Structure 1
């Protein structure tokens, strides 16, 4: 058997589990607490989280971070979870306390949003022993300041400009770990990897979208039945 051949078993009931794009395997990955992470799924849907083959979960949502949501996601996930602890409306000492509590809950890392201050990042690093992942939305941000404050990993989310931002960061900081949004198409993901991303964040279809496809097939099957 070739060393490149990977035996696979999917079963019957689990054969339709969500899979991240295979091209993500081209990136180097980031080793966190001994586990190599190449793919992260951006989701807070516990059904998606339980049924996807990503290496990790990045759980960030547009509300103030709540420990009960963090606990629910961690309890369901079979892979490391990186949770949002604010940086926008939720900021300062509240974000620091949330980061510390998230570590106690079992989070493998905390994610802070772009408006977070360097002072808050420094305070966070003083109380947690898990990576602080800071979100970068523009190549014009003070990335050096973020790293000096203690940010461990950069999370680049620049929409269509993501590869360009990643390339700029990689030129200035050759060794910094970079997670980046890959986009919907394989060519976009590969561009981001080639620009220097170590790991890729993938946004899966929603449960609503998946159900819509299933229901279309059900309707087709029933419409074929006689009388």
Structure 2
């Protein structure tokens, strides 16, 4: 008989963000002894402190800055995977950012899709962390990425994500894959069934959550 899981939420934290339960259907990726099935895609420290994801993937559309990574790592109760560039920010600067992220306590470093293979190799030589390379297209040279030193693939192909994951899994059955799950349980399950080991979930923005809260306040006050 399967034992039920005892749960305690308290009063003040009972409205924290809870990820869809179906994410637990994936195998997960064990990194430094911790099993990671879900990653919250956010840099909002209030959300990071109030979400039940197994890890945080801190990637944002600006030049990576160590002070931002440090703030997120300090606030987070779970491992943080830090974006270190690879697109606009690349080359020696991306390598230095990766080294800095390791010193700050990051659990892994994430590189953008345009990252040259030689930069992947340089980072892998300098840090003892998993190097995560983002994949946005089915045309990506996966073998080249892995040979360069990438440890984990981060598939982010919008609606095409499950198809990209399935294509990769066919040729590389053992490679660890993180993938975006989409907004619904159905889309998350499609991603898992395609072969993703872990799922990235984008929580609602802080403004959206506050708007919902204010609506309830207006109805009761």
Q: TM-score, normalised by structure 1?
A: 0.96
In structure 2, the gaps of 5 or more residues are none
For 2:93, the equivalent position in structure 1 comes to: 94
For 2:178, the equivalent position in structure 1 comes to: 179
Rounded Cα–Cα distance in structure 2 between residues aligned with 1:111 and 1:19: 24
Structure 2 residue 126 is matched with structure 1 residue 134: no
For 1:225, the equivalent position in structure 2 comes to: none
C-alpha displacement of 1:12:
0.4
CA deviations on 1:48-107 (whole Å, 9 max, x unpaired) are 000000000000000000000000000000000001000110001100010011000000
Rounded Cα–Cα distance in structure 1 between residues aligned with 2:54 and 2:111: 20
Q: What RMSD in Å do the two structures reach over aligned CA positions?
A: 0.6
In structure 1, the gaps of 5 or more residues are 223-227
For 1:113, the equivalent position in structure 2 comes to: 112
Rounded Cα–Cα distance in structure 1 between residues aligned with 2:118 and 2:209: 42
Aligned residue for 2:126, secondary structure, equals coil
Structure 2 residue 49 is matched with structure 1 residue 44: no
For 2:79, the equivalent position in structure 1 comes to: 80
Rounded Cα–Cα distance in structure 1 between residues aligned with 2:178 and 2:154: 5
Rounded Cα–Cα distance in structure 1 between residues aligned with 2:49 and 2:30: 22
Aligned residue for 1:218, secondary structure, equals helix
Q: Which runs of 4+ in 1 moved over 3 A?
A: none
Bigger Rg, which one: 1
Structure 2 residue 146 is matched with structure 1 residue 150: no
C-alpha displacement of 1:3:
3.4
